[in-house]
Chain A
Amino acid sequence: MAENVLEIRDLSLSYGDDDIVRNVNLSVKAGEILCIAGESGCGKSTLLKAIHGMDAINVTAGDIVYEGKSILGMPASERRRMMGTGIGLIPQNPQGSFNPLRSFGKQMKETMESHGMKFDRTEMVRLMDSMGLPDGDKLISSRPFELSGGMNQRVAIVFSLLLQPKVLLCDEITSALDVTSGKMVIHEVESYAAHSNAAILMVTHHLGIADRIADTVAVMNHGEVVEYGPVSKVLYHPEDSYTRMLLEKIPKIRREAVS
Chain B
Amino acid sequence: MKKVISNKIIRKRARRRVYVIGALCVLLVLIAIFAKQLSPHDPNVTSALLIRRPPSKEYPFGTDSYGRCVLSRVLAGAGTTIFATTVLVAVTFVIGTVLGIISGYYGGLADTLIMRVTELFLAFPQMVVAIAVAGILGGGLKAALIALGVTAWTGYAKIARSHTLSVKNENYIAAAKLAGLRGWQIICFHILPNTLFPLVTNALTQIGTTMIGISGLSFLGLGVIPPQAEWGSMINESRAYIQLAPWAVLYPALATVITIMLFNYLGDAVMDLRKAERRN
Partners in one complex: yes
> Which residues does A use to contact B, with CB under 8 Å?
14-17, 55-58
Nearest-CB residue, chain A, relative to B4:
A16
12 extra A-B contacts, CB within 8 A, seeds A16-B3, A16-B4, A57-B1: A14-B1, A15-B1, A15-B4, A16-B1, A16-B5, A17-B4, A55-B2, A56-B1, A56-B2, A56-B3, A56-B4, A58-B1
Q: Which residues of B contact A17 (CB under 8 A)?
A: 4
Determine the chain A residues whose CB is within 8 A of the CB of B5 once the complex forms: 16
Q: Which residues of A contact B2 (CB under 8 A)?
A: 55-56
A14 to B1 Cα, complex, angstroms: 8
What is the interface residue range for chain B against chain A? under 10
Q: B1, B2, B3, B4: which has the most chain A beta carbons within 10 Å?
A: B1
**A-binding residues in B (CB < 8 A):** 1-5
Chain A residues with CB under 8 Å of B3's CB are 16, 56
A to B CB contacts below 8 Å, 11 in the list:
A15-B1, A15-B4, A16-B1, A16-B4, A17-B4, A55-B2, A56-B1, A56-B2, A56-B3, A57-B1, A58-B1
Residues of A within 8 A of B1 (CB): 14-16, 56-58
Please indicate the chain A residues that have their CB under 8 angstroms from the CB of B4 in the complex.
15-17, 56
Give the distance in Å from the alpha carbon of A57 to the alpha carbon of B5 in the complex: 12
Majority-rule SS of A interface residues: loop
B1 CB, min distance to chain A CBs, angstroms? 5
Closest to A55 in B: B2
Question: Given the complex, which residues of B lie within 8 Å of A57, measured CB to CB?
Answer: 1
Q: How close is A157's CB to chain B, nearest CB, in angstroms? A: 28
Which residues of B lie under 8 Å from residue A15 when comparing CB positions?
1, 4
| Shortest Cβ distance from residue A72 to the other chain B in the assembled complex, whole angstroms | 15
Nearest residue, chain A, Cβ from B3: A56
Chain A residue, CB-CB nearest to B5: A16
Closest approach, in angstroms, between the C-beta of B43 and any C-beta of chain A? 57
Q: Which of A15, A16, A17, A56 has the most CB of B within 10 A?
A: A16
Q: How far is the CA of A17 from the CA of B3 in the complex (A)?
A: 11
B-side contacts of A16, CB under 8 Å: 1, 3-5
Min CB–CB distance A42 → chain B (angstroms): 19
> Which residue of B has the minimal Cβ distance to A16?
B4
Q: How far is the CA of A58 from the CA of B4 in the complex (A)?
A: 11
State A55–B5 Cα separation when bound (angstroms).
13
In the assembled complex, the Cα of A16 lies from the Cα of B9 at a distance in Å of 13
Interchain CA distance A192-B233 in the complex, whole Å = 78
Give A58 Cβ to nearest chain B Cβ, in Å: 5
Could you tell me the distance in whole angstroms from the C-beta of A169 to the nearest C-beta in chain B? 21
Considering the chains assembled together, what is the distance between the CA atoms of A113 and B146 in angstroms? 63
Minimum CB–CB distance from A235 to chain B (whole Å) comes to: 35
